[in-house]
Chains A and B, each alone.
Chain A
């Protein structure tokens, strides 16, 4: 059985896995990081998005053994000392989540967008989210959250939300 060693949320981690074990299974089942979710079996929904070496990746679409030596960040790695990351805070402030199931993937995906495009337009946000499904919000408040989160990360004050 292959052994994989990697860094997850800044800490070393390792586990024995099968060749076919997916990164998301490693995270959820071996490392107990259940914040990353599985919502489909065809790489459509994006509930499993994490960062691998700084890029957003659907963790159901990459094998655990491909992540040997990689630096992985999951939703559990964003808040520090009980304080939400500005993007998480923007989702809370703008009611960008309802059932919470798609939320980790949405937040991780949004952060990758902002990394590439710090000041996206509404249209750009909607197009970026092509790989993330939400059934609760109609995306309205997710889009609003990401725009607010991006503004906060640029250092601009967030507008009064959910008015």
Chain B
């Protein structure tokens, strides 16, 4: 039978697109509740200051103002601290320093943008106007913004409970084995690098509406979240002490997340609490400049690393020391990013037998840093793939060859790394070969020569990366400090006429779940895709799920749907065996039909569904009516997408401008359900990776003022900064989930940055330049060239 055009592997056009293309999407700021008020949040202009007094009297009297609240008002109501969802332990086993995080600051502000008071009025403008009348007496304190400064003796202290501004000092790996490896090394390659701080900048600014029904005592929070149940749990149980049965969290259409909408933010608690106080709905929508100073930032590592190699370029040992910026408070999942999502990936795709990493997480007077597309894995990959290139150059080994010599072999799976992870499948030679061919690696010298004639410096760079998705299993992550489970839930509700609604705990904010999941169901139950609807985002409808991040939606959420469908089919077989008067063991389900094996006697899926809901001819003594099943799926392991990215750049030596002229990505994301969506996910990720490598950088001045505080100052990639991005896949199946899928949401942002920088260093190698930090802006590249010329001339 020919493959379905709406099933697994088909490039089905997206079901959600009609509403988005016609302006009928429903984002939080589009929602207007009856009687709705508007909140404007006053924020600290100082990076670090004591709040000596707040006078709200004048603002309270302003036109249209309904209420003004401060941190003291919330404290009076016993509002709790925004909780941290992961506890990391120090080298000595003691827990990390975990400071409080009140939704409105109480006696001290710790970063520019820290919320201090909220004005609630009958219009956005009235609230904003009145906010100017709130008088706050600040006593500015010395601030610290960079990790390098924060760890110096005598540095300003962000938290009294965190001496030396240290959140934790953590390690992984076998230090003695690594020392031994270095002692017998033929060559040691070293690198020091910065992984630049990024601002996520999903196109939809965050927004939240709190609503309270005095009749039922029920609260509703409409919010721009990637995981509404996580928000309900954290805010209900830890911050506002609202029973979950009285709290609904609804995240409708969400305009991109990239990690920044995972976390429980102060504004969600503020509007929900305030709605209860004023007994009317309260809406807050971020202005973009607020997004810059309140959405959790990404990356911000400073790292030193050394790779020990033998005479043949085989890796013997890796030693890594990283300082990770946490910002002023611990965002929801911040502590796990530079530890369990970073250092555990330092084996990469290589057989390095001994690895040791230590990570010191540091508080500064900056916006909290947390997961941003890739979260820890881009930092690990960038470090490793740069270091491998440095080693190759120093030992005069071809960068492709040195990678091949160290790859984990295709027959070595399952492969246990020295840093905790066990890879289940992969074929790194295959993705490399495919990428070299697609990028015409062999033809590069000719292109370089041609570019030279035009006065351009052309370089080529490669990265062979691995990442870990679908973080799991729950008991293992629990042992590592997670304060939540990491399963996913799905309910497959078959309706009496055989159409299906799937309720998933995952959340789509651009990923196209309404289409991909529908393809799974169309294929699995043998029904047309038009008969399948996917519901997500509303805790009043969906089972308790953990949401979408870490490329988990298909590997974990999709697997939950498959398990729920398995239950549907098992029950359907029982019903069919009754209807067909045959033994249950003889019933086969295929292509939407329950058939008695070896006969032409069958019942369609719709007939069985109808019998379940109109159980006139039905084994009621043995079987409940209805056809509606829920499954919770807890993965056995992470999944491990991997691949090869190749970047070609041209640099104008007179201006330092770098143009990416070719970009090739070959990724192993496991089984592909919708190749069109996979390509789009990879292209989007690569664009963010190129953005990090060339354009984006979050900059504070030494006083903690955010210099890149708007889209005029922070360089977002634009269409004319980017090339077309050639994407293809090579599949090895994940061995432990029912779909064989791995995940594709983050591979682009992980694989791309080192490929770009390796290409730039290659282009500049004739100047003796061996490294350039991200972002490789024209100024940085130009200066590197000038410095090298001066050095050569001297």
Contacts and interface: CB of A to CB of B under 8 A. Distances in A.
A58 B288 CA distance: 16
Given A34-B30, A102-B203, A133-B718, A79 B22 contact: yes
A18 B124 CA distance: 12
B711 A92 contact: no
Interface string A112-143: 00000000001101110110111111111111
Interface stretch (B250-258, B524-532, B584-592): B250-258
Nearest to B22: A79
B5 interface: no
B23 A34 contact: yes
A100 interface: yes
B711 A133 contact: yes
Contacts of A99: 202-204, 253-256, 509-510
A142 B718 CA distance: 12
Interface stretch (A40-48, A63-71, A150-158): A40-48
Nearest to B711: A44
Interface of A: 18, 20, 28, 33-42, 44-45, 47, 74-76, 78-79, 84, 88, 91-93, 95, 97-104, 107, 122-123, 125-127, 129-130, 132-143, 162
Contacts of A141: 679-680, 683
B215 interface: no
Interface in B614-672: none
B20 A136 contact: no
Given A39-B288, A41-B287, A104 B23 contact: yes
A21 B593 CA distance: 60
Nearest to A105: B203
A140 B722 CA distance: 8
B449 interface: no
Interface in B366-398: none
Interface in B291-346: none
Interface stretch (B10-18, B351-359, B492-500, B573-581): B10-18
Interface in B81-128: 125
Nearest to B290: A41
A38 to B, nearest CB: 7
Given A37-B204, A107-B21, A135-B258, A129 B720 contact: yes
26 contacts: A34-B23, A37-B27, A37-B255, A40-B205, A44-B710, A45-B711, A75-B21, A75-B23, A76-B22, A92-B21, A95-B676, A98-B680, A98-B684, A100-B510, A101-B202, A129-B718, A130-B718, A130-B719, A132-B719, A133-B718, A135-B684, A136-B256, A137-B680, A138-B684, A138-B688, A141-B679
Interface string B674-713: 0011011001111110000000000000000000001110
B242 interface: no
B289 interface: yes
B203 A45 contact: yes
B255 A100 contact: yes
Nearest to A163: B11
Given A99-B203, A107-B21, A162 B16 contact: no
B43 to A, nearest CB: 14
Contacts of A102: 203, 255
Given A129-B719, A135-B202, A78 B22 contact: yes
A91 B204 contact: no
Given A101-B203, A136-B256, A33 B720 contact: no
A138 B725 contact: yes
B25 interface: yes
B722 A139 contact: yes
The 6 residue pairs across chains A and B that have the minimum distance between CB atoms: A35-B23, A138-B687, A101-B255, A100-B20, A99-B510, A98-B510
A93 B13 contact: yes
Contacts of B205: 38-40
Interface string B207-221: 000000000000000
